[in-house]
Structure 1
Amino acid sequence: MTFSICVHEPYETESGERHHRFGVAVTTRLPGVGTLCPFVSEHGTVATQSLVNVELGERGIAYIDDGLAVDDALEALLNADEGAPQRQLHGVDRETTFTFSGEECGDWYGHREGETYTVAGNLLTGPAVLEAAAEAYEATAVRDELDPSTGPAAVTADVDTDPLAKRLIDALAAGDREGGDKREELSVQSAAVVVETTESHPVEPPYNDLRIDATETPIADLRETYDLAVRGYRDTLARYEDAYEADDLAESGE
């Protein structure tokens, strides 16, 4: 299951509320990757790939939600998995990162870890794919800033900062430009991006959960779908935000 990126970002809203968001983006030269690989909650992220074991993602995110650290959760699951040498598994929570690539994954395979993100892939054209994806995300990452007098403080969400979903798609695109999945004989591909946050909205942003299940141009199609979802979200807020806040369609004026 080609390559993916998991991230955690702490941030503050303009009103001073501190929040956390988590996201996963993935693409592969097979259909339906969004149904198999990405698992996200407001507590962490998990991506399961190579010879996919969906249970690793499902149980991994459940363990994180129950308070187990991502490294402890995923290590325990792999220790009980007879197919671990063929698995690739990675993720992040609020404090920890975890990466694993079994020795029987398809070449080229590997992973990278940053302070608040992980990237991993298999059956790639080479390590430059992951390096490019990581560098693209790093260039736009939102992270804690350290104030010597007060300690860590979350970066205030800036109006000029692109939503995490868009930045994750950009990271996929950067990796793909370096070659991506090497199986050029497989033309039907897929991609997905999922983001969860502790912040609540009157209308949940639809661009935070998008999948392209079967296409020959997955990242371009995912980007186009993202752009349409953002436009639709803005149109929805313009017409229905008051109605959603009041939980009453009469407030829409229609």
Structure 2
Amino acid sequence: MTFSICVREDYETENGEQHRRFGVAVTTRLPGVGTLCPFVSDDGAVATQSLVNVDLGERGIEYIDDGLAVDDALQSLLNADDGAPQRQVHGVDAETTFAFSGAECVEWDGHCEGDHYTVAGNMLTGETVIDAAAEAYEATAVHDATDPATGPAAVTEDGDVEPLAKRLIDVLAAGDREGGDKREELPVQSAAVVVETTESYVVEPPYNDLRIDATETPIADLRETYDLAVQGYRDTLAQYEGAYEADSLDEAAD
């Protein structure tokens, strides 16, 4: 009933610091997917779907945060899950990837694994949905494996790389253009994107955790919400950054 992507990116900031970020983006022809499927920390990312078992996401991330590899974490949970044949779960940690599609998932279902990302889906119009999503991400990926001679395709007018949250929304759009979820009789849909990073901010960017819980145009609405969140973040920094740094409203601009 869903397709989603989990990614890991290792990157360097302008001041030369090395950081890592994880992200999940997901969409489906049901409401509220953001409450059930994406799970992210600054140690890993997991998406649980098909016949959803939230424990696979919640406990999977807990295990990864405790130092267990993503494949060991998720496989151990699947081994104890009587409903495993109807589950689909995938994810990434600091070094590895894992993807599983149970034998009883509804066609078309399947997954793919890249060097630092995974894509999976079920109840789709076809395999090209997964292929398009993977290709869209690969074209804009920021990672130590990215060719420095060409760099990522998604850059701003100033030459900066687009934030991961925006690029993951673009991934959902690419998969949706190929057909996405095949259940056209279900008009109410949802989408979500979540990103965590080891980089610290004076004010946490709100565009890194967004959900559209019920709409007929989830990806377009998620993109619009993202744009508004970016604008609001910039306005907040302009107005209140001094107050946040001082931890006092006395420092807020008039």
1:121 maps to 121
Bigger shift: 130-139 or 239-248? 239-248
Deviation at residue 159 of structure 1 after TM alignment: 5.1
2:194 maps to 194
| Alignment of 1:15 onto 2:15 | yes
1:209-235 residue CA offsets vs partner (Å, 9 max, x unmatched) = 000000000000000000000000000
Name the CA shift for 1:11/1:107 in 2 (closer, same or farther; >3 Å): same
Deviation at residue 253 of structure 1 after TM alignment: 3.0
Deviation at residue 32 of structure 1 after TM alignment: 0.2
Equivalent residues, number: 244
Q: Give the match's secondary structure for 2:81.
A: coil
Deviation at residue 146 of structure 1 after TM alignment: 8.9
| Alignment of 1:43 onto 2:43 | yes
Q: Which residue type is aligned with residue 31 of structure 1?
A: P
Name the CA shift for 1:229/1:76 in 2 (closer, same or farther; >3 Å): same
CA RMSD of aligned residues (A): 1.3
TM-score with structure 1 length normalisation? 0.94
1:230 maps to 230
1:150 maps to none
1:78-106 residue CA offsets vs partner (Å, 9 max, x unmatched) = 00000000000000001000000000000
Gaps of 5+ in 2: 148-157
Q: Give the match's secondary structure for 2:140.
A: coil
Q: Which residue type is aligned with residue 135 of structure 2?
A: E
The percentage of aligned residue pairs carrying the same residue is 81
Cα distance in 1, alignment partners of residues 146 and 225 from structure 2? 36
| Alignment of 1:62 onto 2:82 | no
Q: Give the match's secondary structure for 2:193.
A: strand
2:150 maps to none
TM-score with structure 2 length normalisation? 0.94
Cα distance in 2, alignment partners of residues 112 and 180 from structure 1? 16
Deviation at residue 190 of structure 1 after TM alignment: 0.2
1:205 maps to 205
Q: Give the match's secondary structure for 2:220.
A: helix
2:252 maps to 252
| Alignment of 1:34 onto 2:34 | yes
Deviation at residue 69 of structure 1 after TM alignment: 0.4
